């Protein structure tokens, strides 16, 4: 029954003192969108569009893409939907976009970098999204994956705005981008931290190697330092800084992220109720104290246990 109470609670995410933290879903298909739109999520913080095309051998047409994006936007109506442009390569190979002969695909022509070899893929996708925007009368947000420099952010924003998508952001998932978040935020309207890749690249640890999970841990103080730097830059620029990596679905770590200054959390929809409950039982000041404890800890494990010691609700 506790779980049922959690599930039926659809209030917007907020701390005990009333600071709003939007609780959003990660989705990969129009079916996901239809399924989670009826639950207690405030929108979509990450629409992984490459999931649509994992089986495709040819690049999808603008019409085919517009049809899917229209379905997803319709499912959420006035709620926020953040569409990520194709993140092909490494752990997400696409037959029509990835180079098969790369020695280090995680460091290769992946994510936004595909614009160097296949600029038409990005422009077609942006046009399809603009079409869906017009068809639905909604205002989707769009963001690019694997941005490393402010120049890439500027070029992506130029292409997105030229296509007619107004609210433009980038993912912060490469350490260089976190370190230069201020310059990147000057080019875009928002950023979203992808803590899966940010941990992979900060810790030099393949995200698919289970036996290295202790290094890949998003509680690693070095990873949290980069979240901290990005959140501070966002506060200075007065622009939203979300998190859409798996770290947002850990209710304890979610409190730390909010304490660092993150403004929205996107996760698999099933994780939202527990994160909502944790947030509601802690104030912004308590979250900040937890964030300081996690940053000061000498290790991931010690950071987590220090923060668990500060909890005062059963999260
Ligand atoms: C991430 O890297 O944290 C992220 C959200 O994107 P993906 O897991 O799709 O790479
Ligand atoms: Mg990523």
Residue 87, marked binder = no
Q: Output the residue whose Cα is nearest ligand 1's atom 1.
A: 194
Backbone dihedral angles phi then psi of residue 22, each to the nearest 5 degrees: -60, 135
pLDDT, one tens digit per residue, over 217-265 is 999 999 999 999 999 999 999 999 999 999 999 999 999 999 999 999 9
Q: At what angle do helices 221-237 and 195-202 cross, to 10 degrees?
A: 130
Reported pTM:
0.96
| pLDDT of 5 higher than 70 | no
Confidence of residue 278 (pLDDT cuts 50, 70, 90): very high
The pLDDT, as a whole number, for residue 139 is: 98
Q: What is the mean pLDDT of residues 42-69?
A: 96
| pLDDT of 113 higher than 70 | yes
Distance in angstroms (rounded) separating the CA atoms of residues 213 and 303: 16
Asked if 291 contacts 259 with a C-beta cutoff of 8 angstroms, the reply is: yes
Distance in angstroms (rounded) separating the CA atoms of residues 37 and 274: 18
56 lines ligand 1 (CB under 6 A): no
84 lines ligand 1 (CB under 6 A): no
Residue 19's Cβ-count burial label (10 Å; 0-12, 13-18, 19+) is: middle
The pLDDT, as a whole number, for residue 101 is: 87
313-to-156, 256, 270, 274, 310 alpha-carbon distances in Å: 43, 15, 20, 11, 9
Residue 58's Cβ-count burial label (10 Å; 0-12, 13-18, 19+) is: exposed
The pLDDT, as a whole number, for residue 134 is: 98
pLDDT, one tens digit per residue, over 163-204 is 999 999 999 999 999 999 999 999 999 999 999 999 999 999
| pLDDT of 8 higher than 90 | no
- Tally the C-alpha atoms within 13 A of residue 59's C-alpha that lie toward its C-beta: 15
Q: Output the residue whose Cα is nearest ligand 1's atom 4.
A: 194
Flag whether the ipTM exceeds 0.90: yes
Confidence of residue 7 (pLDDT cuts 50, 70, 90): low
């Amino acid at each position: 029954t506790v779980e049922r109470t959690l599930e039926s609670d659809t209030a917007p995410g907020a701390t005990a003192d009333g600071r709003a933290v939007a609780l959003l879903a990660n989705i990969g298909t129009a079916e996901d969108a239809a399924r989670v739109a009826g639950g207690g999520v405030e929108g979509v913080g990450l629409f992984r569009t490459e999931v649509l095309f994992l089986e495709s051998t040819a690049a999808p047409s603008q019409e085919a893409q517009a049809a899917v994006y229209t379905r997803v936007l319709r499912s959420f109506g006035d709620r926020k939907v953040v569409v990520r442009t194709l993140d092909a390569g490494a752990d997400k190979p696409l037959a029509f976009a990835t180079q098969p002969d790369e020695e280090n695909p995680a460091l290769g022509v992946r994510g936004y970098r595909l614009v160097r070899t296949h600029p038409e893929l990005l422009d077609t996708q942006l046009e399809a999204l603009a079409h869906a925007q017009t068809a639905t009368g909604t205002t989707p947000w769009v963001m690019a994956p694997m941005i490393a420099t402010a120049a890439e952010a500027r070029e992506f924003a130029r292409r997105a705005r030229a296509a007619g998508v107004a609210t433009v952001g980038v993912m912060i998932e490469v350490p260089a981008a976190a370190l230069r978040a201020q310059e990147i935020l000057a080019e875009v309207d928002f950023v979203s931290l992808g803590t899966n890749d940010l941990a992979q690249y900060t810790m030099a640890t393949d995200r698919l190697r289970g036996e290295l999970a202790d290094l890949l841990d998003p509680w690693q103080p070095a990873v949290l330092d980069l979240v901290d730097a990005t959140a501070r830059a966002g506060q200075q620029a007065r622009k939203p800084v979300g998190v859409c990596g798996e770290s947002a679905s850990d209710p304890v770590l979610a409190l730390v992220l909010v304490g660092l200054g993150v403004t929205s959390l996107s996760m698999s929809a099933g994780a939202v109720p527990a994160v909502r409950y944790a947030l509601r039982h802690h104030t912004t000041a308590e979250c900040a104290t937890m964030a300081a404890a996690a940053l000061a800890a000498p290790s991931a494990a010690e950071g987590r246990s220090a923060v668990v010691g500060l909890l005062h609700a059963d999260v």
